[in-house]
Amino acid sequence: MLPAQPNQSLIDGLACLHALAASPAALGSRELARLLEFEPTRTNRLLKTLAHLGLAEQDEKRKYRVGPAIHVLGVESLHTSGFIDRAVEVLKGLDGEHLTVAMGVLWQDVVCYLYHQYPSHTDGGTVRHRPVPASTSGLGLALMAQMSDDELRALYAVRSGAQRDGPTGLLEQVADARRQGYALFAAGGGERTIAIVLGGSLHAAIGVSGIFPDGDIPGLVSDLRSAAAQITETG
């Protein structure tokens, strides 16, 4: 919910920073202005301010990409509290031999993964998964179930080209997640994701994905809830 007097410059500056972080290639000032539907001169000022702070930088073609300060902030926010290290130790116990295990956070309409471990990998769950639309993620549905329908409509109403209620069927899927206490998302190819939200002040969700029969769902939900309890006890 917006405060009574929101700082629009801060909001727009963060939108620029998010766009740079999400883009696979550096963006020119006018290119970013078109993408965000911002006024070009103002976009240029915002980018120069971000560059001054080290949150953005220009490449040899004078296009913008995220700067080193954003990585410092990311490391500080993830590891200062020790939350990630503690959570990873718990999540390692969920991988088994056939399930993908993930933990992520919701920002606007995308899910950003803090941990994503495929069953065939043994690298400790490094974060190599790009952000995905929340509506196509079990973790995203679980996190959006914490929002009201009005908040979801407001979120998608301001996203360029999106339907006011979000993608078709989103509100119904979110309602199911609220009712069940967990999200069950069919990812295609027979794979499904089960996800739950971590309680307390940790605005994150954890989940497992793979091919499993309906009879396994109660046990997987129980395992996730047990893991969540262990994470939030020390979070």
62: left (phi over 0), alpha (psi -120 to 50) or beta: left
Residues 213 and 131 in one domain: yes
* d(C-alpha 55, C-alpha 67), whole Å: 5
Note down pLDDT in tens along the chain; length 235 residues: 667 788 999 999 999 999 998 888 999 999 999 999 999 999 999 999 999 999 999 998 999 999 988 877 876 776 666 777 788 889 988 866 689 999 998 887 888 888 888 875 555 555 556 788 999 999 999 999 999 998 888 888 755 444 555 677 899 999 999 999 999 999 888 999 999 999 766 678 999 999 999 999 999 999 999 999 998 875 5
Residue 6, phi then psi, degrees to nearest 5: -65, 145
Residue 128 and residue 167 in one domain: yes
Rg (CA), the chain: 19
Which H/E stretch holds residue 46? helix 40-52
| Burial degree of 88 (CB within 10 A; 0-12, 13-18, 19+) | middle
Do the Cβ atoms of 148 and 160 come closer than 8 Å? no
Same domain, 34 and 86: no
76 in a structural domain:
no
Q: Tell whether 135 and 54 lie within a shared domain.
A: no
Q: Distance between CA atoms of 89 and 13, rounded to whole angstroms?
A: 36
Residue with tokens 């031999």: 97
How far, CA to CA in Å, does 28 sit from each of 19, 20, 61, 232?
12, 10, 9, 42
Q: Report the CATH number at residue 151.
A: 3.30.450.40
Select from 217, 210, 220, 135 the least CA-distant residue to 173: 135
* Domain that includes residue 189, residue range: 81-233
**pLDDT value, residue 158:** 56
Q: Are residues 41 and 112 in the same domain?
A: no
Q: Are residues 67 and 119 in the same domain?
A: no
Burial of 119 (0-12, 13-18, 19+ CB in 10 A): middle
Q: 168 pairs with which residues across the strands?
A: none
Which residue matches tokens 């913008």?
64
Query: Does residue 192 lie in a domain region?
Result: yes
Are both 119 and 223 inside the same structural domain? yes
We report the CATH number of the domain holding residue 48 as 1.10.10.10
Q: Is residue 2 assigned to a domain?
A: no
Q: What's the rounded Cα separation, in Å, for the pair 186 and 207?
A: 13
Is this structure's pTM higher than 0.75? no
Residue 1 lies in a domain: no
In a domain? residue 3? no
Domain total for the chain?
2
Whether residues 45 and 135 share a domain: the answer is: no
**Residue 95 within a domain:** yes
pLDDT score recorded for residue 137? 93
